[in-house]
Structure 1
Amino acid sequence: MAPHRIMFIRHAEKPTASTGAGIDEMGKSDEESLAVRGWQRAGALAQFFRPTDERRREQLTPSCVFAAGSGPSSKSKRSMQTVAPLVALLKETSRVKYSSNYLKDDGEALMKDVLVEAGVVLITWEHKILPSLIGMLPNAPKVPSAWPEHRFDMVWILESAGAGWSFSQLPQLLLAGDSAESII
């Protein structure tokens, strides 16, 4: 068993000079949490990955969601916070498997578990690690070597293609300033 589609997104916007301070889900200052714009993206992603159109829902709604967990080597909560609204919505309307058991550097174990899932899998991770996660797949497709620091608005999609995978990109276009340009 293996998924027929694996989607990768970067966690939503983090605290910077331009996005402001990080805040937790209770509104308290926390530099390991999303910025306000990141929380806006997280909410919008819930509808993006659970669209009302039946055809798009079959393509985009994950049956399994993986988010980088928080631990001693990485205290960031941003990956988990990015998918929290989506996972909550999916739990209300369908069955979904959710895991934040892997830390950002546990890529090999993560990808081993991803490959035993069926259906559509969504992975939310740190942007610097996403290309290497894809490289751990058998017969991995060629993808951009780096995810740009300023891009929070793209979905990388891998489709099962025989013994390997095809690669495409889907712009989110959820918030003002999001780009339709592919990552190269």
Structure 2
Amino acid sequence: MLVGVVAVALSAVLAACAAGPQSTPTASPSQGPSDTAAPGTVVMVIRHGEKPEGSQPGIDAQGNEDDSSLTAVGWQRAERLADLLDPRSGEPRTGLARPAAIYAAGANDDGEGARTRETVAPLAERLGLAVNTDYGKGDEEKLVEQVTAEPGPTLICWAHGELPTIAEAFPDVTPTPPKDWPDDRFDVVWTFTKTADGWHFAQLPELVLPQDQSDVIDE
């Protein structure tokens, strides 16, 4: 059963998170995020997988119903994202990269909201990476300061309402990212690539599940 397989990966990743995030470099007080990343550095931003809606319940890693977790389709997306960003052979699709660091939003004030961590769990397990969950809703600017001080490539998984806030925190971005992320889209990767003049923004459709759309998010 898919959820049973994912439970092993999620347990390992959450254990690594509990032990503390991996040490990462930070920007010095005199440097902003625009001048600490080397040209070519890539930051990929995704939304978590599908959430409970209507007759589709959330299911935790142990197979129990949980409104804070992914649906069965969301777990399938998590598995396919691992294949997308860490193919069994060859390199990821053009515009994407195998992450060297993974960030997922921490639990909310009620200790709920596991979907971001669940979405990246299979990929983190495959890559042997601890997921950094030091940042949560409201920490988007600090998060961007952190990831733009790292060599990358980096993956961020977040709730869709704050994804435009993450995009706005990158300095000197062209073209301008969309101001909103639609509630019904779970299938797009936003990428920010460091250039000599700032950060280049692009969108790529995931195309990992049959229902995924081939277009991207309109501005």
Q: Same fold judged by TM-score > 0.5?
A: yes
The 3 A distance-change label for structure 1 pair 106 and 179 is: same
| RMSD across aligned positions (CA) | 1.8
The 3 A distance-change label for structure 1 pair 168 and 57 is: closer
User: Aligned partner of 1:158: which letter?
Assistant: F
The CA distance in 1 between the partners of 2:141 and 2:215, in whole Å, is 30
- Which of 94, 102, 105 pairs up with 2:135? 102
User: Aligned partner of 2:187: which letter?
Assistant: D
- Structure number with bigger Rg: 2
Q: Shift of residue 58 of structure 1?
A: 9.2
SS of equivalent to 2:160: coil
Which segments of 5 or more consecutive residues in structure 1 lack a partner in the other structure? none
Q: Shift of residue 97 of structure 1?
A: 5.3
**1:149 to 2:183 alignment:** yes
Q: Which moves more between the two structures, 121-130 or 135-144?
A: 135-144
Structure-2 residue corresponding to 1:176: 210
What are the equivalent positions in structure 2 for 1:27-106 lying under 5 Å apart? 27-51=63-87, 52-54=89-91, 56=93, 59-72=96-109, 75-91=112-128, 96=129, 98-106=131-139
The CA distance in 2 between the partners of 1:152 and 1:97, in whole Å, is 23
SS of equivalent to 1:54: coil
Does the 8 A contact of 1:46 with 1:85 survive in 2? yes
The 3 A distance-change label for structure 1 pair 73 and 132 is: farther
Structure-1 residue corresponding to 2:195: 161
The 3 A distance-change label for structure 1 pair 130 and 57 is: same
Which segments of 5 or more consecutive residues in structure 2 lack a partner in the other structure? 1-35
Q: Shift of residue 161 of structure 1?
A: 1.6
User: Aligned partner of 2:156: which letter?
Assistant: I
The CA distance in 2 between the partners of 1:136 and 1:119, in whole Å, is 17
**Cα deviation digits, residues 1-21 of structure 1 (max 9, x gap):** 426111110000000015x11
**Cα deviation digits, residues 43-94 of structure 1 (max 9, x gap):** 1111111022236499421101110011315620000000000000000xxx
Does the 8 A contact of 2:44 with 2:190 survive in 1? yes
Q: Which moves more between the two structures, 131-140 or 53-62?
A: 53-62
Does the 8 A contact of 2:84 with 2:92 survive in 1? no
Normalised TM-score (structure 2):
0.77
The CA distance in 2 between the partners of 1:31 and 1:60, in whole Å, is 31
Shift >2 Å, 4+ stretches: 54-59
The CA distance in 2 between the partners of 1:105 and 1:99, in whole Å, is 16
The CA distance in 2 between the partners of 1:23 and 1:32, in whole Å, is 8
The 3 A distance-change label for structure 1 pair 55 and 9 is: closer
The CA distance in 2 between the partners of 1:98 and 1:2, in whole Å, is 21
